[in-house]
């Protein structure tokens, strides 16, 4: 499968715990995006990378959230001290120009 | 940044009829307008897109029209089938050019009645 892959597909955690998600983009794509989607809403932009550089972070991304893309390949999104409001689908997408291709997402449930 | 409004939020049509979903955008510099389809529990998938230098684009039963003056664009699905049931999202570039990512509408839940 040469599409965008995300791991894990589902994550259940207790409030206050840290979680980390991984995204592997389409190999020839230099841009990688993280979005968050809650029920009944469209994807909301969180942050994006061009190669290994993080170019922008949304104001939605509190200081408990951190993203990395070492060597410009896969990316990780970490949430520290999770809160119930963090429960959502976290989607990763990659692109070489405007067309975004999404992964299947990581569904996070914070109990 | 871009602001995208989408309506209706829910659309129910009889199988075989046409469906139209409309979106408006705020940034006149935006030049790329995609539509995504998301089935329950699955990833959003790009189904059609249009650039600002054309007014209409068709791909089999789906088409997108763009009115740059009014800053709105629409998705048209003809001869609807049960597999068209899904949530559809319109989008526009966050910062005009497109490479900085997309801003999405809130989605339209399309229901195809048998």
Q: Which of B43, B98, B100 sits opposite A105 (nearest CB)?
A: B43
User: Mean of the pLDDT values across residues A82-86?
Assistant: 97
A99 touches chain B (CB under 8 A): yes
Q: Is B2's pLDDT higher than 90?
A: no
Q: What is the pLDDT of residues A38-59, one digit of tens each?
A: 998 999 999 999 999 999 999 8
Q: Which of B53, B87, B102, B103 to mutate to test the interface with A (most CBs of A within 10 A)?
A: B102
User: Does a cis peptide bond (omega within 30 degrees of 0) precede residue B67?
Assistant: no
Say how far apart CA B19 and CA B40 lie, in whole Å.
19
Mean predicted confidence (pLDDT) in B28-55: 93
Pick the range with the lowest mean pLDDT from A38-42, A79-83, A104-108, B76-80: A38-42
Q: Is B106–A41 a contact, with Cβ atoms under 8 angstroms apart?
A: yes
- pLDDT value at residue B100: 85
Q: How many Cβ contacts (< 8 angstroms) between chains A and B?
A: 55
Which tokens hold the place of A36?
A: 């968050």
Contact between B48 and B64 under an 8 Å Cβ cutoff? The reply is: yes
Per-residue pLDDT of A60-76, as tens digits, reads 889 999 999 998 899 99
Are the CB atoms for B78 and B14 separated by under 8 Å? no
Contact (CB, 8 A) for B66 and A65: no
- Give residue B34's pLDDT: 96
Residue A26 near residue A2 (C-beta atoms within 8 A): yes
Which chain B residue is nearest to residue A30, measuring alpha carbons? B99
- Region B19-39: mean pLDDT is 95
A51 shares contact with chain B (CB less than 8 Å): no
Query: Does residue A2 surpass a pLDDT of 80?
Result: no
pLDDT at A97: 83
Query: Residues A80-89: what's their mean pLDDT?
Result: 97
Q: Which residues in chain A are contacts of B107 at CB distance < 8 A?
A: 40-42
Q: Which of B76, B25, B78 shows the shortest CA–CA distance to B52?
A: B25
Position A102 scores a pLDDT of 97
- The predicted-structure confidence for B87-113, as pLDDT tens digits, reads as follows 999 999 998 666 789 999 999 999 999
Cβ atoms B108, B21 nearer than 8 A: yes
SS3 A85: helix
> Using a CB-CB distance cutoff of 8 angstroms, which residues of chain A are in contact with residue B42?
104
Q: Mean pLDDT, to the nearest integer, of B12-40?
A: 96
| Residue B1 clears pLDDT 80, i.e. is over it | no
Question: Quick check: A1 pLDDT over 80?
Answer: no
Q: What's the pLDDT band for A36 if we cut at 50, 70, 90?
A: very high
Phi, psi of A72 (to 5 degrees): 70, 20
Report the sign of the C-alpha dihedral through residues B99, A22, B87, B80, in that order: positive
Measured distance CA(B65)–CA(B47) in Å, rounded: 14
Distance of CA A62 to the CA centre of its chain: 14
Place of tokens 């705020």: B26
Annotate A50-82 with b (16+ C-beta within 10 A) or e (fewer). Answer: eeeeeebbbeebeeebebebeeeebbebebeeb
């Amino acid at each position: 499968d040469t599409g965008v892959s995300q791991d894990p597909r589902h994550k259940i955690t207790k409030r206050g715990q840290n979680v980390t998600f991984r995204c592997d983009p389409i190999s020839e794509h230099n841009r990688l995006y993280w979005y968050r989607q809650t029920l009944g809403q469209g994807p909301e932009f969180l942050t994006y990378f061009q190669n290994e550089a993080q170019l922008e972070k949304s104001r939605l991304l509190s200081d408990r959230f951190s993203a990395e893309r070492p060597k410009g390949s896969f990316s990780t999104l970490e949430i520290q001290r999770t809160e119930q409001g963090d429960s959502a689908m976290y989607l990763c997408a990659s692109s070489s120009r405007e067309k975004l291709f999404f992964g299947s997402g990581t569904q996070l449930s914070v109990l | 940044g871009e602001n995208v409004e989408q309506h209706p939020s829910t659309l129910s049509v009889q199988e075989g009829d046409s469906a139209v979903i409309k979106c408006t955008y705020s940034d006149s510099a935006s030049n790329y307008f995609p539509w995504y389809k998301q089935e329950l529990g699955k990833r959003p998938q790009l189904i059609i897109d249009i650039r600002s230098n054309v007014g209409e684009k068709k791909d089999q039963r789906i088409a997108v029209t763009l009115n740059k003056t009014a800053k709105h664009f629409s998705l048209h699905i003809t001869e609807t089938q049960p597999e068209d049931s899904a949530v559809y999202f319109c989008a526009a570039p966050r910062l005009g050019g497109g490479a900085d990512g997309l801003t999405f509408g809130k989605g339209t839940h399309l229901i195809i009645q048998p």
